[in-house]
Structure 1
Amino acid sequence: MDTYLKLVKDDSWDDEMLLSVMRLCSEELDREAVEGSSQGPPRARIYIPRDREGAAERLHRDYFAQQPTFPDYKFKRRYRMQPQLFERIIAGIRDCTINPLPTHFAYFRHAYDAFGRQSFNIYQKCTSALRQLAYGMAGDMWDEYLYMSEQTSLNCLDNFCLCVTDLYKDEYLRKPTERETQRIYEMYETRHDFRGMLGSIDCMHWEWKNCPVVWQGSNNDINVLKRSPLFDSIKNGSAPPSPFTVNGHDYTHGYYLADGIYPDWAILIKAYSSPTDEPSAKFTRFQESARKDVERTFGVLQGRFNILRVPERAWSAKKMHHILYCCVLLHNMIQEDNDFAITSLDEEYLRDPENRPIFVRNRNTTRAAREKEIRDKDVHNALRVNLTEHI
């Protein structure tokens, strides 16, 4: 191109020669548009013929036939769940009856492209999504097996996460009821000897590779706690009653075990930083041992869905939000499928959401008063002393 442009500057050329040079320039531009150049990506889209029908047959033969090529333990390793749970999710997405049907559910319906070819079926799309969640690889990692382009794979992931969240959030991300809270109390008292314990609180960090510079900053445990909706139901007075008694003293709320970075709140119980006697040293050992549960949970979650371990390549925080919610929901479903659930769902509670009870502890107190009660340092210290004597 540079040579042609320099030659055009020669005034000795006639019109015919100039037309020839212009034609050569046009041909060169067309060639670069099709083949691309070393200075940037190709300017024209290149069609790659993919045998999606053959890929669908192979996937069915490998995992979903009456006598599949790979046994169930291979399925569980690659899909992170048992085949029956995967079929349950498939059925939930396929048989969704929401009217009008959301676009993320419609994405998994049978469709045909402009050439009349059938699109990828729901098994191929869900397999692509789960493989990305399980292995945390790029979108085109499974192109050779599923014959699915990178953009189609990313679309499968986005829509799958939205579907799972819509279908199962009311069941697997709900607040515990009064009866479930008492069951949680019993379980933790039996397991760790902590009466009134609701669990442990901690943070898991997930790196965002494509985070905009303007959004980067410190997102430590305290900042996350201030933005967390965990205690909103207590602050607005809608939390179910959860009283308990320890060492002869009555308390209104359950509490969470926390490490030293968290504040001294009435609902956060920390270990002694420098125990001075045997009872406080014993309490510290028990508290640190029980608090390991939440760290193990994060470890299992990241090990099961490796996408949470590697830097995320999404271009929006909203997509990361959907992916994280989907992983937590799937984790809870897998735990239930493995008979590790603490309580079973009250079907009537889920079937009739309008009649779910809303508990108000004290209508005479304001939100500010309830928040002050949560942050009461004196209650924190008194409860820790009573727990120390109890243990």
Structure 2
Amino acid sequence: MKVLVIGSGGREHAIVWKLKQSPKVTELYCAPGNAGINEIVVGVDIKADDVEGLLKFVKENGIELTVVGPEVPLEKGIVDEFTKEGLLIFGPQKSAARLEHSKIFAKDFMKRNNIPTAAYETFSLNDKAKVYDFISNTNYPLVIKADGLAAGKGVIICGNVDEAIQTVNELFNDKIFGAAGENIVIEQFLTGVEASVFAICDGTDYIVLPASQDHKKIGDDETGKNTGGMGSYSPADRAVNHDVMKKIKQRVIEPVLKYMKSEGNEFKGCLYCGLMIDKSGDPYVIEFNTRFGDPETQVVLPTISSDLAEMFISSANGSIGNYELKLNGNFCCTVVLASNGYPDKYETGKEITGLNEISRDAIVFHAGTKSTADGKILTNGGRVLNVTGISPLGLKEAINIAYHNAVNIDFENKYNRTDIGLKGL
């Protein structure tokens, strides 16, 4: 089977790595890929959001399955376009992907269908007077979210009215997220333990992959600005035990599938549930994404022993109920190596060394990297590499493996958190 993976990050490298283990996959392509991905599969020089170019490539090359990694092509309706042409593609249609690309759509959907989430209000660019009045007369802390896609950085926690005013000014006046920030959600600040759960869905049925925990903040102890994610670990059994997972299925995943279908937005693909688990073990939805998370994918996929290509096919053709998920008992920890300055301004083009000094119980998934004609690998983004430690012995061992290998890799202005996974011990 010929398979195309769309995207260029650590998530896509992990997907490609796992798909290569499938006996079903005979040829594997990635568009546009990165330095690490293009070492193991055929890189295709087409941007991830070039739907027309990707469609042309798939038809001309007889691609039998396309897997969408990032969110932007989903927002642009790539699944609808491929499905119209009779092509098999893993991911949700555009109307279902609104669960991610419109926070307001997702919050209203949850409210309408009694799916647990934080209390909220919505405001638009035309409501400036209303929003300033609201934030001057409410309780803190609170959370302000850009309605649209903002590369994982559109969520701001405000501790007081001054911070809230500054955030609204940045969104509405400075337009730091452009059109994505012209409508906003202001919601109650929830406390508890955060967790990520991926449900692979076929419109009606689903399977759940092992839970993970992301580390969103740039600094140790969850300090500083939000990022796309600075590290992750799985399984997150302390946060999501059997009883909590049962509640997540009954209160979140099953109602989402039921009501999305009844409202005409059947959901296929990966439903990423970003959750807050309160002290009673009750889950509340912080956000939905409609694709695999990054860096959670890099720790979840190495815990799976069953065939990933079969999983994607079963989701796309409506037969996930027949798919048997098998786990291998591994514990995984991923540490993100970033360019200093991320998530703000950072430099690229720095040579990376030490990639040949990785132990056999670790994998380095490339994110923001590119290769040169003479074989050097350079930094090419904010999040550069994902060092994943894998151990059957426990999370502590996986953490140690990840950090032991992270130390061996170097590039100018390298930065990483030093506490990834510790909250799982």
TM-score (norm 2): 0.23
TM-score (norm 1): 0.24
Higher helix proportion? 1
Q: Which has the larger radius of gyration?
A: 1
